[in-house]
Amino acid sequence: MEIKKLQIKLGKLRLDTPVLPASGTFGYGDELIDTMDYQYIGAIVTKTLTWKENPGNPPPRIWEFKNGLMNSIGLQNIGVKRFCEEKLKILLNLDKPLIVSIGGKNPDDILRSIEFLSNENGIDAFELNLSCPNIETNKTVSEDPDSTFKLINKARQLTNRVLIAKLSPNVTDICKIGIAAEQAGADILCAVNTFKGLYYDWDRGKMYTGGVSGPMIFPMSFRLVFELYKKVSIPIIGLGGIDSDKKALEMIFAGASAIGIGTSMVIMPDLASRVCQAIVDYLKKMRKNFCSIVGIRNEKKH
Amino acid sequence: MKHKRVRILSKKIFNEKYVELLLENRFDTVPEPGQFIHILTGGAFMRRPISIAECSQKKVKILFQIKGPGTKKLSEFSTGKEIDILGPLGNSFPSVEKHQKVYLVAGGIGIAPLLFTADKLVQSGNNLKLLYGARTKNELLDFLLPEGRYKKIISTDDGSIGKKANVVEILKNEIFIEKPDIVFAAGPFAMLKNLGLLCNEYNIDAYVSLENIMFCGLGVCQGCVVETTNGYQKVCKDGPVFDNRIIKWK
């Protein structure tokens, strides 16, 4: 496979391929070197980092469904400072584009992290995990267009690195959030994060809340990317439930300029290579280039 | 790469719910006792972590209990089928100095990693005793134990075979007779907790192999954590074998 043919650019962000790991399913980025072939992924995408080291939620943290799972990890991570000390150098040696996901307990934490990390060389983009509480509105940032605008606008003033807004699907109208992110200066949208879910554990007699991912969410995330593409001009990384080369192509047809795979790539570490192969084969068969198939089955309305 | 496709060389089913699969050994590294493989079964969404019970240069033996749709599907595969695995994963039981008194304590299917451990320890000249318990006779795979290589005490909760006692009670009795230098254990959570608290009480070094619902098996998702004195640690990557003293038993 001519993997170099799959190099793309989303605005200023160069990617080795259009296939990205989803944040949270790829650790800090270096852990899977002896499990999968990194040449097939477009970039390293770290798990969400917070300003301070975060212990995460008490177990249990994973619940299985027939066609997906629910997690409640609670953003366990070593914090941005330890990340710089312990991980950054290793990641830079991998010679891949690097996307660092940033989250926090409040918007100020996210901004502090971005300011701190912008002093480090080698980070190509920040993915802002907008599923972060905002005390002022009593909602998560991702639920409210104004909070989204304010946070991204402030982040935009702090850094000239590429900013990716990771959108939550748990909203009435995702397009309002996407438009606010674009207007505030986001370079790329990443849609979507996990869906809110609830699980009843009969053995423990307890209810658990978490984020649902895996093939079962594909029809909904697919629809959200389809809607977003009509309303925004910036590129979209489409993800949520992609578990096959066909679903990856479908997401691209809906308007995704790159695709993310999380849950299913954990289960099938060779999925990125299969998706890359399918994209190469499809482009060859249709005699098209990658950019020309993005949104090919969707109509832009703006 | 840890991601492999390996052929099933043979299959045995014991007492309708225990399965032994012999697989091709195509690992890049030599598996250590306590490590596991993570198998895509097709019967459930996530992979299933299964302990390595024996390993030679060409073959790897795994032993598991049919518990749900994943292990059920895996038990239905026939000889010759290729299965998708990740491995070997996780850490291993620590090596011990020669002539130390090592007690291995297995509850139920917890025997799987300890068969491999016992094999290795005997080869390196340790003084072993295996305490192996289960609820009842048909949950005890005593016929898999090698003859005469190490001392064994068999027990069942209902007394249908061996001594009528819980395996942790057996360990307690043994401690009174002769205190072990170190204990290695694998089995259900409740058993390991009782064993862990007992070993703490008598100040005996113990290492326990924990089980948990596991998604990635590789240390990236942080889904399978257990609370320790060093914070939440991953059963798949920091374990499955833990120093008993660091576990916060709940």
Nearest-by-Cβ selection for A64 from B46, B219, B227:
B46
The pLDDT assigned to B98 comes to 82
Assess whether B129 and B156 both reside in one domain.
yes
- The answer to whether residue A66 is domain-embedded is no
| Minimum mean pLDDT range among A3-7, A16-20, A192-196 | A3-7
Assess whether B17 and B50 both reside in one domain.
yes
Assess whether B126 and B172 both reside in one domain.
yes
- The answer to whether residue B56 is domain-embedded is yes
Instruction: Give the domain range for residue B9.
Output: 3-89
CA distance B39 to chain A (A): 9
The pLDDT assigned to B75 comes to 98
What number of H helices and E strands is found in chain B? 4, 15
Q: Do A266 and B86 touch (CB under 8 A)?
A: no
Assess whether B123 and B200 both reside in one domain.
yes
- The answer to whether residue B75 is domain-embedded is yes
The pLDDT assigned to A3 comes to 85
- The answer to whether residue A203 is domain-embedded is no
Assess whether B8 and B76 both reside in one domain.
yes
In chain A, residues with a C-beta closer than 8 Å to the C-beta of B212 are 59
The pLDDT assigned to B124 comes to 84
pLDDT, averaged across chain A: 96
Of the residues A63, A64, A204, A261, the best mutation for testing chain B's interface (the one with the most B CB atoms within 10 Å of its CB) is A64
Residue A302 pLDDT class (50, 70, 90 cuts): low
Assess whether B80 and B123 both reside in one domain.
no
Answer yes or no: A132 catalytic: yes
- The answer to whether residue A161 is domain-embedded is yes
Q: Is pLDDT at A259 greater than 80 in this prediction? A: yes
CA distance A148 to chain B (A): 27
Nearest CA in chain A to B224: A61
- The answer to whether residue B230 is domain-embedded is no
Q: How many domains does chain B have?
A: 2
Q: Is pLDDT at A1 greater than 80 in this prediction? A: no
Q: Do B223 and A62 touch (CB under 8 A)?
A: yes
What values do phi and psi take at A258, rounded to 5? -155, 160
What pairs with residue A238 in β-bridges? A191, A259
CA distance B29 to chain A (A): 11
- Residue B140 is classified by DSSP as -
- The answer to whether residue A176 is domain-embedded is yes
Assess whether B133 and B73 both reside in one domain.
no
- The answer to whether residue A163 is domain-embedded is yes
Query: pLDDT digits over A128-137, tens only?
Result: 999 887 777 8
Assess whether B112 and B180 both reside in one domain.
yes
| Mean pLDDT, residues A167-177 | 97
Residues of chain B with pLDDT under 50: none
Chain A residues in contact with chain B using a Cβ-Cβ cutoff of 8 Å? 24-27, 31-32, 34-37, 47, 55-56, 58-69, 71, 73, 76, 214, 266-270
Nearest-by-Cβ selection for A269 from B3, B46, B231:
B3
What values do phi and psi take at B171, rounded to 5? -60, -40
| Mean pLDDT, residues A139-143 | 92
Percent of chain B with pLDDT over 90: 94
pTM, rounded to two decimals: 0.95
* Selection from A57, A60, A29 nearest residue A44 by Cα: A29
In chain B, residues with a C-beta closer than 8 Å to the C-beta of A56 are 222, 225, 232
- The answer to whether residue B214 is domain-embedded is no
Q: Is pLDDT at A204 greater than 70 in this prediction? A: yes
Nearest-by-Cβ selection for A266 from B84, B216, B225:
B216
Place of tokens 């190099």: A7
- The answer to whether residue A27 is domain-embedded is yes
The pLDDT assigned to A300 comes to 78
Per the residue annotation, which of A132, A175, A276, A291 is the catalytic one?
Answer: A132
Q: Do A266 and B40 touch (CB under 8 A)?
A: no
Where residue B131 sits, what CATH number does that domain have? 3.40.50.80
- CA distance linking residue A48 with residue A234, whole number of Å: 23
Domain boundary among B63, B89, B115: B89
Rg (CA), chain B: 17
**Residue type at B199?**
C
Assess whether B117 and B53 both reside in one domain.
no
- Chain A, chain B: beta-carbon pairs less than 8 Å apart: 89
CA distance A68 to chain B (A): 6
Query: pLDDT digits over A80-122, tens only?
Result: 999 999 999 999 999 999 999 999 999 999 999 999 999 999 9
Strands A236-239 and A188-191: parallel
- The answer to whether residue A93 is domain-embedded is yes
Query: pLDDT digits over B37-66, tens only?
Result: 999 999 999 999 999 999 999 999 999 999
Percent of chain A with pLDDT over 70: 99
Of the residues A46, A267, A274, the best mutation for testing chain B's interface (the one with the most B CB atoms within 10 Å of its CB) is A267
In chain A, residues with a C-beta closer than 8 Å to the C-beta of B44 are 64, 66
- CA distance linking residue B139 with residue A223, whole number of Å: 50
Query: pLDDT digits over A43-73, tens only?
Result: 999 999 999 999 999 999 999 999 999 999 9
Where residue A268 sits, what CATH number does that domain have? 3.20.20.70
- DSSP run (H or E) holding B191: helix B189-201
Assess whether B193 and B133 both reside in one domain.
yes
Nearest-by-Cβ selection for B226 from A24, A59, A73:
A59
Domain boundary among B59, B89, B119: B89
Q: Do B86 and A269 touch (CB under 8 A)?
A: yes
CA distance B222 to chain A (A): 7
Where residue B47 sits, what CATH number does that domain have? 2.40.30.10
Q: Do A58 and B46 touch (CB under 8 A)?
A: no
Q: How many domains does chain A have?
A: 1
The pLDDT assigned to A134 comes to 78
Going through B125-229 in order, the beta strands assigned E by DSSP cover 127-134, 151-156, 163-164, 182-186, 205-209, 225-228
Q: Do A266 and B221 touch (CB under 8 A)?
A: yes
Assess whether B136 and B190 both reside in one domain.
yes
Chain B residues in contact with chain A using a Cβ-Cβ cutoff of 8 Å? 1-3, 28, 40, 44-47, 84, 86, 212-216, 218-227, 231-232
For A197, the token pair is 């879910």
Instruction: Give the domain range for residue A87.
Output: 3-59+74-194+212-293
Question: Where does A232-270 have alpha helices with state H?
Answer: 245-254, 263-267
Assess whether B126 and B187 both reside in one domain.
yes
Q: Is pLDDT at A139 greater than 80 in this prediction? A: yes
CA distance A139 to chain B (A): 26
What number of H helices and E strands is found in chain A? 10, 16
Is the preceding omega at residue B240 within 30 degrees of 0, hence cis? yes
- The answer to whether residue A301 is domain-embedded is no
- The answer to whether residue B242 is domain-embedded is no
